[in-house]
Structure formats: structure tokens, C-alpha cells
Amino acid sequence: MREGGIPERLMSIIYEDDLSTVLHTEDDIARRVAELGKEISADYEGKSIVLVGVLNGAVVFLADLMRHITVPVAMDLVAISSYGSYSSTSGVVRIMKDLDESMESKHVLIVEDIVDTGLTLNYLVDYMRSRNPASVKVVAMLSKPSRHKVKVSVDYLGFTVPDEFVVGYGLDYAQRYRNLPCIAVLKPEIYAGPDTPPSL
Ligand code: PRP
């Protein structure tokens, strides 16, 4: 475990034994999110943005990122179904919760926690474009390039990650670990073992 990965205050409640490596500490993440916010603010100078967060994983990133954006922002949330509770992707993309507001003539910035196969993002970009916005861009905290099945364009990216099961900072396994403040690799025996836990 990398030094500084899990803050002391969380040691007793977080499942440190379930994790093999901390890829990005809380401090790494805070620094990178601040940089992304600054870059986005500069690029949208004089405009306002609608941040469209993808539930559930993106809420942690969205909440942090929006506080580093200095142009006016509105927010909306969508929920997409692409995975079951277990680790394989079905490739099925459908909207479970739609946009609340019109995107007509707005600058839309889709906020994702991770781009894995890219199927969700691909679908969402097309979906947003069909709503006649002024522009559509994407910010993702993480991307796993080795897993992409389709060509995806991410305008602002936090970090690339290897093809491992990553959790924390909004990312879950069976709804757990989203509250980890760092981004860590889950030990394979946790998600591949015979005692695989059910969803919470
Ligand atoms: C994850 C993630 C992305 C999507 C990426 O969501 O938040 O939305 O999968 O996968 P893809 O690139 O292979 O399409 P998930 O369906 O696990 O839901 P969650 O955000 O509620 O955890």
C-alpha cells in the first residue's frame, strides 16, 4: 500500500485489506481536479456551462470539480445502465434517469468518473448532440485506454489507469468503496472469489 493512501480517519471503517495498490492518493486527486477546473474555466471564459453528471459514480468528481470552475455552471444528472453488479460489462446502454432541463443552445460538459469500454460515453455524446446544444465536451476523471471498444474523445482527463479493477472516489464494486477518498486497485479475490459479495 502506498504511503498516504488511506487517511487515518478511515482506517477502521474502510476495507484496506481488500485493496492491493493505491494508484492516486486523496492529495493527487485534489491537485488534478483543481488543474482540470482551471483549464475548463479558461476554455469557457465568457460562457456558461451545463455539467451533466452520470450517476452514480461521477457524483464525487462532479461535486469537487464544480467548485474549481469559475464560470457560471448549471448541473443536470443522468443515469445510464451499462453494467450489472458484477465486473463484466453487458454493453447494454439505456437511460434510467433522463435530463431534467433542455440542452438547447447550451454548452454541455459531460462529467464521467471512468471511461472503460467507452460505450456509455459514446452513447451519451450522441444523445446530448441530439438535444441541439451549442457544444458538447467530455471531462472524465479516469480512462482505461486498453479497454476501449469504441473510439472515444475525452476533452479533459484526470488520469489514465491500467486494466485493473479500480475503486474509490465514486467508483464501486457491488456498490462498495465509493467513499474511498483515493483511487485504488481491488484485489482480484474480492471480485472473482467464490464468496463474491452481493450488491448492498
Ligand atoms: C460506470 C462508469 C461509467 C461507465 C463506463 O458506470 O460510471 O458510466 O461504467 O463504462 P463503459 O465505458 O464500459 O461504458 P456503472 O454502470 O458501473 O454505474 P455507476 O456509475 O453507478 O457505478
d(C-alpha 131, C-alpha 120), whole Å: 17
Pick the residue with more confidence: 26 or 6?
26
Instruction: For residue range 162-187, list pLDDT tens digits in order.
Output: 999 999 999 999 999 999 999 999 99
Residues 47, 68, 36, 172, CA torsion sign: negative
Residues 111, 141, 182, 97, CA torsion sign: positive
Q: How far is CA 128 from CA 50, 64, 71, 122, 134, in A?
A: 11, 23, 21, 10, 10
Are the C-beta atoms of residues 180 and 25 closer than 8 Å to each other?
Answer: no
Pick the residue with more confidence: 91 or 87?
91
Q: How far is CA 49 from CA 65, 121, 134, 141, in A?
A: 13, 18, 10, 18
Q: Of the residues 116, 126, 172, 195, which is catalytic?
A: 116
Q: At 11, is the pLDDT very low, low, confident or very high (cuts 50, 70, 90)?
A: low
CA of 13 to the centre of ligand 1 (A): 25
Query: Which of 120, 122, 183 has most ligand 1 atoms within 8 Å of CB, for mutation?
Result: 120
Query: Which of 62, 80, 154 has most ligand 1 atoms within 8 Å of CB, for mutation?
Result: 80
Are the C-beta atoms of residues 17 and 182 closer than 8 Å to each other?
Answer: no
Q: Is 28 a catalytic residue?
A: no
Looking from the CA of residue 118, the nearest atom of ligand 1 is 12
What is the overall mean pLDDT for the chain? Answer: 88
